[in-house]
Structure 1
Amino acid sequence: MKKDGAMELVCEAPAKINLYLAIKGKRADGFHDLETRMLKITLADRLRLAGRDSGITVACPGSELATGEGNLVHRAAQRFFAALGRGGGVHIVLEKKIPVAAGLGGGSSDAAAVLRGLNIIHGFPFSSGQLAELARPLGADVPFFVHDCTAAWATGIGDEIQAEDIPFLGWIVLVNPGFAVSTKWVYENFTLTTGGNPNDACAGPGNLPLYNDLEAVTIGKYPELGRIKDELLAAGAHGALMSGSGPTVFGLFESEAQARKSVARFAQRFGRNVFLARPLSTQEKL
């Protein structure tokens, strides 16, 4: 869409959940090698991109997020224009719905949406592979969100992506306890002897394992998360797990009625930090 001669674009930035996350080892650069299965879901932020001749500005109405280089969407735009090499700018309005520092990949998804959106505005100067390379320095999850898939098996630090089809068309209840957890802190406090045995994982969608090594760290400090898992299972979820480094816990439901009843129950305690979502694959692409 063009407004006053400038191209404008509205982008959705979906959250993700980790159905499986196993830490395989620590690398010399301080990062961890891992294996993870990620699923994009319908809970999403919204970004409005307005092209301009120069400069990058960011607005986050209703949020306390930084609007300068401290915001990942600003850095994503910087990387895009540096690679483009012919000038240009953008004004970004970020409308947050995904909780911050929640294990749902919101910041990474926002950055990926900026890369994809700017690529559209500027006539697709970069291939999907080139966008993924631009995404890598921005964060381990950003290449997954740049990739045009709804689910993937990821290795390396989470940036080596293999698209997958996940046979789950049900409902996802997400419960965020209302506090943030630092991903850096969780990984710093994880040791390879901390986690459980992936072979003991419970069955998830299509009998795929439902497992997260990082639960031992985060739930160890915040035992309430373990109680939320138990409550989700008692409410009818056929699987429940902490997503990423937490603290958001999700339950997978086949029954919409049970899922909605669970949302209502948790909302009495956690208010707007409880969400009902579905796999992004169930949503028609626009």
Structure 2
Amino acid sequence: MVRALAATVISSVVCAILSCWLVLIGWSLMGDAVSHAVLPGVVLAYIIGAPFALGAVVFGFLAVALIGVVRDTSRVKEDATIGIVFTTLFSLGLVLISVTPSQTDLNHIIFGNLLGVAPSDLWQIAALGAVVFVTAVAKRRDLTLYAFDPTHAHAIGLNPRLLGALLLGLLALTAVTALQVVGVVLVVAMLIIPGATAYLLTDRFGRMLLIAPALAVVAAVTGLYLAYYWDTSAGGMVVLAQGVLFAAVYLVGPRHGLIATRWSAARRRRRAVRAG
């Protein structure tokens, strides 16, 4: 449980930080694509004895390259292209898992095995999480400018393509950190929900980078403890806790919650009627 808690907190924080940029740029579907597309890379890395992160990064960039090629050389739109590429690569990963002899159950890559985190897995999660965290914090100003206005970023001497590639590389590494926690299937939830929740709570991006990890940690601890006492799926409960937090903020958020926005709209209508 101690290793599971540490792994969950590390992965949740890293995913939450990256989710702020994904939500801001509108890369939620891209996050889904990369998180699923890394599966064959992870399996191939296991087969040849290479680090999981290496295989994930290679196939993450391969997925992005394939999406760009198909989008630019055909009539198929980007959303359809993303769906085609990530489902194909994900299926390739499933096939590789089915034909790969292994002393361990590789299906844990798909569904996660949070309570089976070994000390070596925890060190890998911590190392990759540290790389992503330090890089994201060090480059936060450039990445934020790229998210808001790539044209202005280029005008002041930044390379938008390089920043986009950096963000995709961080996305691939982040997917690996969360594989052991929730598996490939639910990684996308950890890459989207915290940022989306924080987006409903503040209009300042700097605050988003603080609120999203804080909410993710609360959901991680709550979900893991509920899974322990209720004897349910640990990864599933962590993501479910994040979903419950989002639903609560969506409904009763102080500024952008559904109830608050409806109440404000009703007040404006009443004022307009009185003024008329």
Q: One fold, TM greater than 0.5?
A: no
**When you count helix as a share of all residues, which structure comes out higher?**
2
Question: Per chain length, whose mean CA-contact separation is higher, i.e. which structure has more relative contact order (CA < 8 Å, sep 6+)?
Answer: 2
Q: More strand by proportion, 1 or 2?
A: 1
Q: Which has the larger radius of gyration?
A: 2
Q: Tell me which interval the TM-score lies in, with the shorter structure as reference length.
A: under 0.3
